[in-house]
Amino acid sequence: MEKKLYIGGLPYSTTEDDLKAAFAAAGSVESATIIVDKMSGRSRGFGFVEMASPEDAQKAIEMFDGKDFEGRTLTVNEARPLEDRPKKSFSRDNSRNNW
């Protein structure tokens, strides 16, 4: 069973291949994804790594959380499921927004 990890504090220069190679030291990596800004295409400084097993995921958390990675301190923890977020309203409804 795969375990998805949230990786925060990544240097903007980090590639998905760099991330996958680094986390391979903790075990088998199924995938590595870096989140990029839609407008600029630049890394947002965080991403996700899917480890092959819960044991590999736990080892990766222990190895990398709070540790230096290319000059930045990483935050590594189990990813939470994406929750439904309320839709943003861009209308000029004066009863709710005082524009």
Exposed e or buried b per residue across 22-32, where buried means at least 16 C-beta atoms within 10 angstroms of its C-beta: bbeebbebeeb
Q: How far, in Å, CA of 78 to CA of 64, rounded? A: 12
Q: How far, in Å, CA of 2 to CA of 18, rounded? A: 20
Checking if the pLDDT of 68 tops 80, the result is yes
Domain 3-78 has CATH 3.30.70.330: yes
Share of the chain above pLDDT 90, in %: 78
Determine the average pLDDT of the residues in 26-40.
95
Q: How far, in Å, CA of 39 to CA of 86, rounded? A: 22
Q: Look over the chain and give the mean of its residue pLDDT values, rounded to a whole number.
A: 88
pLDDT band at 83 (very low <50, low <70, confident <90, very high): confident
Please tell me the pTM assigned to this model: 0.79
Lowest mean pLDDT among 11-15, 20-24, 40-44, 81-85: 81-85
